Amino acid sequence: MTKSTSGRQWTPPRVKDDGGASRRPRNVLVIDVGGTNVKILASGKRTPRKIASGPDMTARDMVDAVRKLAADWSYDVVALGYPGAVRAGRPAAEPKNLGKGWIGCDFEKAFGCPVKMINDAAMQALGSYEGGRMLFLGLGTGMGSALITDGVLVPMELAHLRYRKGRTYEDYVGLRGLKRFGKKKWRRYVMDIVTALKHALLADHVVLGGGNAKRLKRLPKDIRLGDNAHAFVGGFRLWEEAWKDARAASVVHQGR
């Protein structure tokens, strides 16, 4: 166990035993796919790189762009944060805010190496986890969500639950909601939804990540801002044996 920044003992989440393959040192390329940007970082590098995404970016476009962007980086495996539901390491649906072709894409063949895919909110939650029962909500183009309880990661799709007037949570607290209602009303909707979900899921605390989380002001007790860099920490942890190496996490925490 390692001690978290809050002083509590932190037990790494459980991972599946892969027969010892994960014990070998690896150079990992982490890809965080979002509705506005795709960001990447590789083992041993300290400065992420990014490219614009958007509604016309297909899976093939993303792969080609990332391979060019990381052409001078060495990596053996890829951790890919996907902005949508993931089942058995593959997209379960096309992303709502990007182009098509994600479900049928063979990412391991495209990148020429093993790929672990996880929902993008789950990947950032993984990098933000310090113990207990934690709810993560990503306030970006949409609304990502994940729950970690006693070290078990549960990706969730709360964004599309109905909230008000036939609209979903994402319609109110995603980017569309921010533009539609303005910052003042948007903040109220965020706090209403966050508080309701915290109580409904019996979370000890909530971490708010995503590009728009920084627009929030005062936060209630047990609700804190995350850091988008934690998505990279989560990606590295996907390939670490029991996520024992917390060096990347410590770099992020020291910069907070």
pLDDT digits (tens, 9 = 90+) for 148-204: 998 889 989 899 899 999 999 999 999 999 999 999 999 999 999 999 999 999 999
What is the pLDDT, as a whole number, of residue 239?
92
β-strands 49-52, 9-10: how paired? unpaired
**How many other β-carbons are positioned within 10 Å of the β-carbon of residue 67?**
13
Q: Residue 45: phi, psi to the nearest 5?
A: -100, 150
Amino acid at 35: G
Give the total number of structural domains in the chain. 2
Q: Please enumerate in sequence order all residues whose Cβ is within 8 A of that of 163, keeping only pairs 6 or more positions apart, or say none.
A: 169, 171, 172, 193
What is the pLDDT, as a whole number, of residue 16?
42
What is the pLDDT, as a whole number, of residue 86?
92
The per-residue pLDDT for range 51-62, each reduced to its tens digit, is: 999 999 999 999
What is the pLDDT, as a whole number, of residue 25?
53
Q: Could you tell me the pTM of the whole model?
A: 0.79
| Pair of tokens at residue 76 | 């053996």
Q: Flag residues of the chain having pLDDT under 70.
A: 1-25, 241-256
Q: Do 68 and 19 lie in a common domain? A: yes
**Cα three-residue angle 242-247-252, rounded to 5 degrees:** 115
Q: Please enumerate in sequence order all residues whose Cβ is within 8 A of that of 194, keeping only pairs 6 or more positions apart, or say none.
A: 137, 206, 208, 223
Q: Do 7 and 102 lie in a common domain? A: yes
What is the pLDDT, as a whole number, of residue 122?
93
What is the pLDDT, as a whole number, of residue 211?
86
Domain of 190: which CATH number?
Answer: 3.30.420.40
Q: Do 108 and 200 lie in a common domain? A: no
Q: Do 88 and 148 lie in a common domain? A: no
Q: Do 117 and 51 lie in a common domain? A: yes
Q: Which domain holds residue 219?
A: 131-225
